[in-house]
Amino acid sequence: MRLFGGGSKTDEAETFPVTHSDDEWRQKLNPAQFNVLRKHATERAGTSPLNQEKRAGTFLCAGCGKELFAADTKFESGTGWPSFFAPLDGAIATTEDRSLFMSRTEVHCADCGGHLGHVFEDGPRPTGLRYCMNGAAMTFKPVG
């Protein structure tokens, strides 16, 4: 079990349609994206420009480009991370994360397995869920 920066065994326990070696991921991603997506790190709260993104569009996985969240599911959670009440169908998968002496539900990209963040049961209607995502794990594609 890892104490900091993750604790799931996503990379070892599952296989995904999009795979690369660590060296290939390092070439494809910037250091912050690599640390979050591939090493299960968490960006510092309030540091992602995506936290302020308000345009219509879609949030994508920074690792493989999979569409993850529609902009109209984003809400201001006050946490300092982009938060959503629902993912797009088939966009994400979850695993149990037992790091930091607690049990949480980790969210990762269904196509590449990249660590996105965690989901909590304190979100708004209609789902009551808060998908608290690392902005470094995503990109944004505006409508048009």
AA identity, residue 34: F
Residue of 61, 64, 109, 132 marked catalytic: 132
Can 64 be counted among the known catalytic residues? no
- Tell me which residue of 75, 80, 51 sits closest to 140, measured CA to CA: 51
Contact 85, 129 (CB under 8 A): yes
Q: Which phi and psi angles does 52 have, rounded to 5°?
A: -95, 0
Alpha-carbon distance of 144 to 21, in angstroms, equals 34
Tokens of 16: 């995904």
C-alpha 81/C-alpha 90 separation (Å) is: 22
Q: Using alpha carbons only, give the angle 118, 120, 121 rounded to the nearest 5 degrees.
A: 160
What is the radius of gyration, based on Cα positions, of the chain?
A: 14
Query: Which residues does the annotation mark as catalytic?
Result: 132
